Amino acid sequence: MSSSSNLISNKAFILAVTGAAVGLGNIWRFPYMAGENGGSAFLLLYIVFVLLMGLPVMMSEILVGRAGRAAPVKSFQALAEKAGHSRRWGIVALGGTLAAFMVLSFYSVVAGWCLHYFGLSLVDSFSGQGSTEVANMFSDLQDSIPLVLGFHGVFIFLTMLVSLRGARGIQQLSNVLMPLLYVLLGILVIYAAGMSGFSQAVDYLFKPDFSKISTDILIEAMGHAFFTLAIGACCLTAYGAYMPAGQSIARVILLVAVLDVLVALMSGISIFSIVFTQHIPTSSGPGLMFITLPYALADLPLGGVAVALFFGVMVIATWTSSINLAEPVLMLAETRFGCSRKGAVTLVGVLVWLAGLIPAFSFNIWKDVKMPGGMDLFSFYTAIPTNFLLPVVSLFVVIFVGWVMRKATVQREMALPPVFHMLWMGLIRLVAPVLVIIVFAAGLS
């Protein structure tokens, strides 16, 4: 691994892993998922599943990377061999790397939309626009092949520009952008606090309403906890190889989880304050950020500034997450194909852009293509990694750490008091696998 040097500080590593976890799932997906699934009921279940499923998988991925001190595939192979098992366990990392590649290819298309909308917000393009006009703007963007491919390409370029410097590039970007992200979100919450719908938004998210809990909401919350924490793509395994030796895995991941959930809460409070102030249905769905929010803010004081802040936050979150997704793919290119870092960045950047043509064209020239089950091409393509590869890889990661790796290695890397170590082992051996299987089965249904 050509860029195997540790990140310079413990703080830098925490910011980098937080940047990896915080992304579209927190800012775009959480508000509309909570809006469609009962608000506080969804939030409560989401936090429970972060603790029971998300944290064990995250810790397991980081542990493998730090214990192996190599690219994900080589770490799995070496640790399996040391424990007297087959090197074929490296296939787990290959599956995760494929998932990361596919997610990055469609993630960059959506991130390109965010870049475009951020540019539009800077020139106040949404002022005076109604819901129909804003919806048409979004439709025109998706229909425009030059715009979609152009911004997709720009976003890939920005990602690879940082990835070119390996661990140092990740650290430098995270040190600047992650604090900025929280500052911007804090400004948005303060802005939302002055709205008439602020108290209603707080009640909607934090006032317990157990009557709204159902099987469907339980499954949705479990799936979102899985989606939002960057688990299953072996990205955290790649980051684990950079982790300072004396840093506590448990403390880092607990702090990252708190910071990750905090972004979702701050985004939710801000967005639902606007929703309730403007009397918009909470169940506005995925179009909440790209259609509903711009026109809803247009009539409010400083609405143009708020729109720019929202899409600025989106650009930051997607940028830090994309670097996380790219890292295991770049490591594979370096170790498997003998590429230099520069060569790996060039190769992966081109391949990701080409793969992104599938989701990009699914909104225009291939929008009438129907896949098995009547799914559109975009939904089918995104379902492969999110509904299949990520849960399967996560399942095998916790099995590997819980049942395959040497117990002494796991104990040394986790460095937990005996009681907490037993509790954690129970989670990764029994609880987390069952929950991951449920997510997998729900994704296939």
Both structure tokens of 113: 């939309």
CB 334 within 8 A of CB 349: no
pLDDT 10s digits, 355-367: 999 999 999 999 9
Computed over every residue of the chain, the mean pLDDT equals 90
Structure tokens at 245: 């030796």
Which pLDDT value is given to residue 267?
92
**138 CB neighbour count, 10 Å cutoff:** 17
Predicted confidence at residue 284, as pLDDT, reads 66
CA atoms of 200 and 144, how far apart (whole Å): 39
pLDDT in tens, 422-438: 999 999 999 999 988 98
Render pLDDT for 301-327 as a digit per residue (tens, 0 to 9): 888 899 999 999 999 999 999 998 999
Band (pLDDT 50/70/90 cuts) for residue 97 is very high
pLDDT at position 351 is 98
pLDDT digits (tens, 9 = 90+) for 198-250: 999 999 999 877 788 888 888 888 888 877 887 899 999 998 988 888 899 99
What's the confidence (pLDDT) of residue 37? 86
Distance CA 322, CA 111 (A): 9
The answer to whether residue 115 scores a pLDDT higher than 50 is yes
- Residues 187, 309: contact at Cβ < 8 Å? yes
pLDDT of residue 5: 47
Cα–Cα distance, 248 to 416 (Å, whole number): 9
Q: For residue 343, is pLDDT > 80? A: yes
| Percent of the chain residues topping a pLDDT of 90 | 61
pLDDT (0 to 100) of residue 4: 44
Average pLDDT over residues 53-70: 93
| Closest C-alpha to 397, from 373, 423, 432, 364 | 432
Contact predicate 234/61, CB 8 Å: yes
Query: Is residue 159 a contact partner of residue 4, using CB atoms and an 8 Å limit?
Result: no
Nearest CA among 39, 11, 26 for reference residue 282: 39
Query: Which residues, in sequence order, are CB contacts of 103 under 8 Å at separation 6+?
Result: 233, 325, 382, 385, 386, 390
Name residues whose C-beta falls within 8 Å of residue 142's C-beta, 6 or more positions apart in sequence. Answer: 148, 363, 364
Arithmetic mean of pLDDT, 296-302: 81
Instruction: Report pLDDT for 291.
Output: 84
**Region for residue 153 given its phi and psi (left: phi exceeds 0; alpha: psi -120 to 50; beta: otherwise):** alpha
Rounded CA separation 361/111 (Å): 15
Residue 140, Cα to own-chain centre: how many angstroms? 27
Ordered by where they begin, the domains of the chain are: 10-444 (1.20.1740.10)
Of 146-150, 269-273, 302-306, the range with the lowest mean pLDDT is 302-306
Each residue of 366-392: pLDDT tens digit?
999 999 888 899 989 998 998 889 999
Spell 144-173 as b/e; 16+ CB within 10 A means b. Answer: eeeebbebbeebbebbbebbbebbebbbeb
| pLDDT value, residue 21 | 87
Question: Does the pLDDT value for residue 1 go beyond 70?
Answer: no
Structure-token match 């937990």, residue found: 416
Segment 241-268 mean pLDDT: 91
pLDDT in tens, 20-47: 888 888 888 888 888 888 899 999 999 9
pLDDT at 179 over 90: yes
- Distance between the two ends of the chain, CA-based, in angstroms? 39
